[in-house]
């Protein structure tokens, strides 16, 4: 699959074909895949369209999606090889006509899974770790493009099957349930936040590979919250997160007892998204919560730059603010590419990299919005 080699004629699929979308990388990447899922449905309204995800949270994000006929979830990391093989063979019996590995699934293992499922046509992007096995694992591919969003990379795959985007522009799609909206409303009422402006913050940064090292230091969040309380004492701060942030939230609570802070324990990521919708502004690094904030259109979104921030994972929205990281200094691709490898650099190096973003820089970026 040489990037310079001419592609064959596009594959032709019947209107009532069976399609499987594989979105097996991060939970946020599953949200990035939702515009492509909509495009597939628009191009194949009579098709049987299903999705396969790795994480329970990813499956949750696809709940109530009207463009999907079924969602399959299997933890290939925790499950035994035998259990995973049985699961994959079960999908193979569904006889898919097309499978698509969406961006940014650079690990070859994701393409191996697609091959085992055995759809007649198997689409993927070409990554830096591509080699001769990939000629057997997928049937058609095109080079990924680091200069455009992952949703655009996904839509370009449509050309391999003779289709083109139908929608005016790609947008995240998250279909919240009334009970999730009601939970958010109840939280706002209980914490006296109804109708108030407040800042949302997520201090996490993912737990696979060494992605936790892109976290902005917790003590910086403590100092930032203190400066916000001193300068804007009537502005509440709501810290979002899941079980992975429980320890960090305990430390924050111990350090910030004097300020107006909340730590919602949302029943699911979807409930958290329903609450995010009410934020005036939201601050994070590039995580699932960054994509959720874009999906629910938080009015003002701020992202602290990490080594992993590249255009394919930018928030999919028109306006947002990137708080520059002087340690990264535009060298993002020197640190991280979608080839299945961790962030380049020793733990000490990466920690120093994130420490290079000062509290003053973040506060100054937020000030015009929260004042």
Alpha-carbon gap, residue 247 to 279, rounded angstroms: 23
Q: Are residues 239 and 364 in the same domain?
A: yes
Report the 10 Å Cβ neighbour count for 367: 13
Containing 284, the helix (H) or strand (E) segment is strand 281-284
Evaluate whether residue 249 is within a structural domain: yes
Of the three residues 129, 161, 193, the one that is the final residue of a domain is 161
Position 208 scores a pLDDT of 82
pLDDT in the model for residue 292:
98
Please give the angle made by the CA atoms of 348, 350 and 352, to the nearest 5 degrees. 70
For residue 68, the enclosing domain spans 18-161
> Tens-digit pLDDT profile for the chain (371 aa)?
444 445 579 999 999 999 999 999 989 999 999 999 999 999 999 999 999 999 999 999 999 999 999 999 999 999 999 999 999 999 999 999 999 999 999 999 999 999 999 999 999 999 999 999 999 999 999 999 999 999 999 999 999 999 999 999 999 999 999 999 999 999 999 999 999 999 999 999 877 889 999 999 999 999 999 999 999 999 999 999 988 899 999 999 999 886 789 999 999 999 999 999 999 999 999 999 999 999 999 999 999 999 999 999 999 999 999 999 999 999 999 999 999 899 999 999 999 999 999 999 999 999 999 99
Is residue 171, in this structure, part of any structural domain at all?
no
Same domain for 323 and 182: yes
Burial of residue 298 (number of CB atoms within 10 Å: 0-12, 13-18, 19+): buried
Whether residue 2 is contained in a domain is answered as: no
β-pairing, 237-240 vs 121-126, is unpaired
Please list the residues that pair with 73 across neighbouring strands.
53
Please name which of 228, 246, 250, 248 lies closest in space to residue 237, comparing C-alpha atoms: 228
Angle at CA of residue 275, ends 267 and 237, nearest 5°: 110
Boundary-marking domain end, from 114, 129, 161: 161
Domain boundary among 109, 134, 161: 161
Contact (Cβ atoms closer than 8 angstroms) between residue 148 and residue 165: no
In contact, 305 and 140? CB cutoff 8 Å = no
On whether both 79 and 106 belong to a single domain, the answer is: yes
- Is residue 172 assigned to a domain? no
- 254: domain CATH number is 3.40.50.2000
Tally of domains within the chain:
2
């Amino acid at each position: 699959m040489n990037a310079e080699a001419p592609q064959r004629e596009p594959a032709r699929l019947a209107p009532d074909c069976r399609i499987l979308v594989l979105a097996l990388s991060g939970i946020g990447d599953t949200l990035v895949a939702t515009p492509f899922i909509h495009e597939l449905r628009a191009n194949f309204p009579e098709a049987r369209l299903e999705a396969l995800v790795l994480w329970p949270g990813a499956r949750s994000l696809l709940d109530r999606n009207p463009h999907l006929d079924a969602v399959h979830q299997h933890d290939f990391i925790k499950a035994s090889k035998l259990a995973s093989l049985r699961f994959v063979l079960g999908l193979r019996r569904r006889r898919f006509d097309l499978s698509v590995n969406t961006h940014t699934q650079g690990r070859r293992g994701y393409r191996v899974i697609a091959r085992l499922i055995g759809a007649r046509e198997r689409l993927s992007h070409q990554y830096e770790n591509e080699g001769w096995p990939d000629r057997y694992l997928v049937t058609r591919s095109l080079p990924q493009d680091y200069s455009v969003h992952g949703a655009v990379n996904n839509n370009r795959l449509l050309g391999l099957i003779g289709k083109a985007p139908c929608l005016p522009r790609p947008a995240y799609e998250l279909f919240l349930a009334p009970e999730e909206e009601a939970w958010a409303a109840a939280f706002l009422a209980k914490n006296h936040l109804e109708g108030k402006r407040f800042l949302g913050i997520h201090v996490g940064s993912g737990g696979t590979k060494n992605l936790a090292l892109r976290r902005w230091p917790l003590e910086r969040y403590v100092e930032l919250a203190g400066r916000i309380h001193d300068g804007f004492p009537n502005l509440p701060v709501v810290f979002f997160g899941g079980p992975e942030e429980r320890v960090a939230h305990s430390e924050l609570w111990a350090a910030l007892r004097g300020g107006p802070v909340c730590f919602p324990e949302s029943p699911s990521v979807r409930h958290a998204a329903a609450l995010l919708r009410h934020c005036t502004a939201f601050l994070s690094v590039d995580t699932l919560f960054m994509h959720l904030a874009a999906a629910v259109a938080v009015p003002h979104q701020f992202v602290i730059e990490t080594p992993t921030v590249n255009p394919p994972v930018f928030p999919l929205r028109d306006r947002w603010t990137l708080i520059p990281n002087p340690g990264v200094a535009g060298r993002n691709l020197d640190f991280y590419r979608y080839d299945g490898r961790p962030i380049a650099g020793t733990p000490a190096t990466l920690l120093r990299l994130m420490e290079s973003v000062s509290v003053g820089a973040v506060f100054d970026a937020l000030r015009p919005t929260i004042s």
